[in-house]
Amino acid sequence: MTTIIDGNKTAAATKTQVAERVERLHNERGVTPGLAVVLVGDDPASHSYVAMKERDCAEVGITSFDHRLPADTSQEELNALIDELNADEAVHGILVQMPLPDHLDEEAVIERIEPTKDVDGFHPQNMGGLVRGQDTMRACTPLGVMRLLEDYDIALEGKRAVVLGRSTIVGKPQALLLLEKNATVTTAHSRTKDLAGLCREADILVVAIGQPKMVDETYVKEGAVIIDVGINRTDEGLVGDVDYDMVESLASAITPVPGGVGPMTRAMLMSNTVDACAKSVDYSFD
């Protein structure tokens, strides 16, 4: 029997926990977590992502501060806003929706955000902290994958994990998080030789490549756990990087698309924001 990993369910439980924590911070420290969401330009997909994030904030009791800037905003103007948010005590998390218009320097923006408020976990200091095993902010999507694996009691220690994809926002931090849990991790990418053969060695296969349904039954060992991070808009609707129908019966557990990793990314953003707020007032939930 294949377990279908229900991201909506785990995300709902995560958000319930976040809401309880928001209340504890309010009752015990008189502080309400705040997330500033910065959107530059009028990309429709970005607008809908930002709207969803603001809805999530409302649902868990996090105050959201909405900053919508025109597409011709200059780097200096954006920098000034980030400086202001860095200094604002009501703001515990800052999210700048990517991609930014071409004339803006995304790297410079990420580096300008105060690392303790970098709830996306992309700042070099937070990425470096992950490499060094420090308790710094972790990127939401790979963190969401780890929460799913934990929620479904999937053992990682000593297991062979293959992460397919090496992006800075998913693949690389994902590999490090699995390593932290004592999996034996291989990162694969577009130059990897015999990709299917390598993936077939995996007990846990995390796929984040942005290639609709590329991973089929030839990539999957019987009994493997398959985590599909991919979100691809195609003529047949939203599909993952994994050919779900072809691999489902082989896998011991698998995430669907939609309804797998996607909802977890949003839930972990809320979780990172509440953690950032707690740290700012030196509060521990333990």
Interacting residues with ligand NDP (CB under 6 A): 141, 165-167, 169-171, 189-191, 195, 208-211, 214, 229-232, 241, 261-262, 265
Contact 103, 78 (CB under 8 A): no
14 vs 265 by CB, closer to ligand NDP: 265
The active-site residue out of 15, 56, 117, 120 is 120
Is 174 noted as a catalytic residue in this protein?
A: no
Residue 101 or residue 210: which is nearer to ligand NDP going by CB? 210
Looking only at the bridges linking them, the beta strands covering 63-69 and 3-4 are unpaired
Q: Give the residue from 69, 79, 134, 135 showing the smallest Cα distance to 107.
A: 79
As measured in angstroms, the least distance from the Cβ of 145 to ligand NDP is 9
Smallest distance from the beta carbon of 267 to ligand NDP, in angstroms?
A: 10
Residue spans of beta strands (DSSP E) within the chain: 3-4, 34-40, 63-69, 93-96, 160-164, 184-188, 204-207, 225-228, 232-234, 237-239, 253-254
| Residue in 15, 56, 97, 228 annotated catalytic | 97
Give the nearer residue to ligand NDP in terms of CB position, either 147 or 166. Answer: 166
Cα–Cα dist 123/145, whole Å: 20
Whole-number Å distance between alpha carbons of 178 and 282: 28
Minimal distance in Å, beta carbon 28 to ligand NDP? 32
Identify whether 125 is a catalytic site residue.
no
Compare residues 92 and 166 and give the one whose CB is closer to ligand NDP. Answer: 166
Residue with tokens 């999507």: 141
Q: Give DSSP secondary structure letters for 111-161.
A: HHS-GGG-TT--SHHHHHHHHTT-S----HHHHHHHHHHHHTT---TT-EE
Least distance to ligand NDP, CB of residue 104, Å = 18
Nearer to ligand NDP, 81 or 178 (CB): 178
Residue nearest to ligand NDP (CB): 167
Residue 266: CB minimum distance to ligand NDP, A: 8
Query: ∠ at Cα 193 (191, 198), nearest 5°?
Result: 115
Decide: 259 and 6 in contact? Cβ < 8 Å: yes
Which residues are catalytically annotated?
A: 53, 97, 120
